Amino acid sequence: MNYAKKSIEDIGTAGKKVLVRCDFNVPQDENGEITADTRIVGALPTIKYLADKGAKIILCSHLGRPKGKVDPKYSLKPVAERLSALLGKTVALAADVVGEDAKAKAAALKDGDIMLLENVRFHAEEEKNDPAFAKELASLAEIYVNDAFGTAHRAHASTAGVADYLPAVCGFLIQKEIGIMGKALEDPKRPFVAVLGGAKVSDKIGVIKNLILKCDTIIIGGAMAYTFKKAAGRNIGTSRFEEDKLDYAREVMVRAVGMGVGFMLPIDHVCADHFGEDATPVPCKHIAEGMMGLDIGPKTVEKYSAALKNAGTVVWNGPMGVFEIPAFAEGTKAIAKAIAESDAVSIIGGGDSAAAVEQLGFADKMTHISTGGGASLEFLEGLELPGIACLLDK
Ligand code: ADP
Ligand code: MG
């Protein structure tokens, strides 16, 4: 995967019609009110830059899962309203995606004007990456800008297909994602430490496989640790683990030794006799019969923090414990603190990891929190993301 891609700064957009794929898939309450506009705010730098350059801006996005049919529940109207308020100028919403209204509104745009197409997923052709639909969408514009990292791992018409018909570049959000994460994978500041946790080894096999080739040290926490512990012959009580991943876990540990990669597993735990808000946390060195590990223990925190202290680059994916329950959030909190206090380039990938860092108050201390859950995992796996691969190389 080539991470050196052209951006909106590398292409002339003055007076040009520019189709910009954004990620406006915002959370809404039952009345359709937007409950968090982080994604809309995140798109503003790209939109403002293009408007300042005098481009004619045609924004598009998906919202929710309308399943290929027009459904007013998933209209982008609230997004158009919020965008207008944030920009202090009207963003006209087209009544359709590639229909008469969209075409008329696009044709009438003046330099610096901004419009928004209706939900691209009102067409089943979007997720099928139908070439005729992609061509029609592309026909509205002269340049394509992808700034939706959250859907960059999908080959849909508006995320990749349109690039077959238009010169394609990235916006500032994708530029930042590939700049920071691409550098970590290609030319990291060392030592490069990966912190991997979360629910399952099986979700992270690709990430482990790729990072073991690049890292100096891999730190394991979360439920994932217990599959490795069991594979190493330890007693894990009733801790969550994956029977069918024991061989893989053994293989990873052998490979790490062979490659000289440090591989760290928890040396103590915070256990409980059941999983739940009301569970009593019990710190322990060895997990007793009938107990389950729900967080890494204080000795582990000490050991991991020491390894993180002098790191040059840290990639973190997956919480160290059940951070949603305060009694089992200490490990995740301490690791977030250690990463925040180190001078390392720190990258947080994964939906729950990003939520944990934000919830625990360390968000502004990290170099980069990826905006795409699934997309960031595929990126860290070293996979080619269609929404990025389709962009012009530098
Ligand atoms: P991400 O979304 O960042 O990739 P995951 O989805 O893999 O992360 O994992 C997050 C989930 O893992 C959290 O809901 C957390 O409660 C759970 N988890 C972490 N440690 C444990 C544990 N020891 N036992 C059970 N669940 C755990
Ligand atoms: Mg998750």
Q: Does a structural domain hold residue 389?
A: no
**Cβ neighbours for 324, distance < 8 A, ≥ 6 positions apart:** none
Q: Is 369 helix (H, G, I), strand (E, B) or coil?
A: strand
Ligand 2 centroid–CA 88 distance in Å is 36
pTM: predicted TM-score of the whole model, two decimal places: 0.92
Whether residues 246 and 127 fall in one domain: no
How far is residue 60 CA from its own chain's centroid? 20
Q: How far is the CA of 124 from the centre of ligand 2 (A)?
A: 27
pLDDT of 371 > 90? The answer is no
Query: Looking at the structure, do residues 162 and 184 belong to the same domain, yes or no?
Result: no
Task: For residue 128, give the amino acid letter.
Answer: K
C-alpha–C-alpha distance, residues 282 and 251, integer Å: 31
β-bridge partners, 252: none
Residues 200 and 155 placed together within one structural domain of the fold: no
User: Is 194 a domain residue?
Assistant: yes
- Residue 97 has a pLDDT of 98
| Furthest-apart CA atoms within the chain: distance in Å | 71
Return the structure tokens found at 358.
Answer: 């934000």
Please report whether residue 385 resides in a domain.
no
pLDDT value at residue 63: 98
Given 151, 173, 195, the domain boundary residue is 173
Asked if residue 236 and residue 339 are part of one domain, the reply reads yes
- Quick one: which of 156, 90, 163 has its CA closest to 119? 156
Asked whether residue 290 falls in the same domain as residue 376, the answer is yes
Q: pLDDT of 33-70, one tens digit each? A: 999 999 999 999 999 999 999 999 999 999 999 999 99
What CA–CA distance (Å, rounded) separates 317 from 305? 16
| Last residue within a domain, chosen from 139, 173, 207 | 173
CB 179 within 8 Å of CB 156: no
Catalytic option among 189, 200, 234, 255: 200
Reply yes or no: is the peptide bond before residue 191 cis, omega within 30 of 0: yes
Q: Per the structure, how many domains does the chain have?
A: 2
Same domain assignment for residues 356 and 282: yes
Q: Atom 8, ligand 1: which residue's CA is nearest?
A: 318
Same domain, 196 and 96: no
Where in the sequence is the domain holding 95, given as residue range(s)? 8-173
Query: Could you confirm whether 182 is annotated as catalytic?
Result: no
Shared-domain flag, residues 258 and 357: yes
DSSP H/E element including 201? helix 201-214
- The answer on 152 and 102 residing in a single domain is yes
Q: Which helix (H) or strand (E) holds 93?
A: strand 92-93
Residue 159 and residue 219 in one domain: no
> Do 129 and 198 share a domain, yes or no?
no
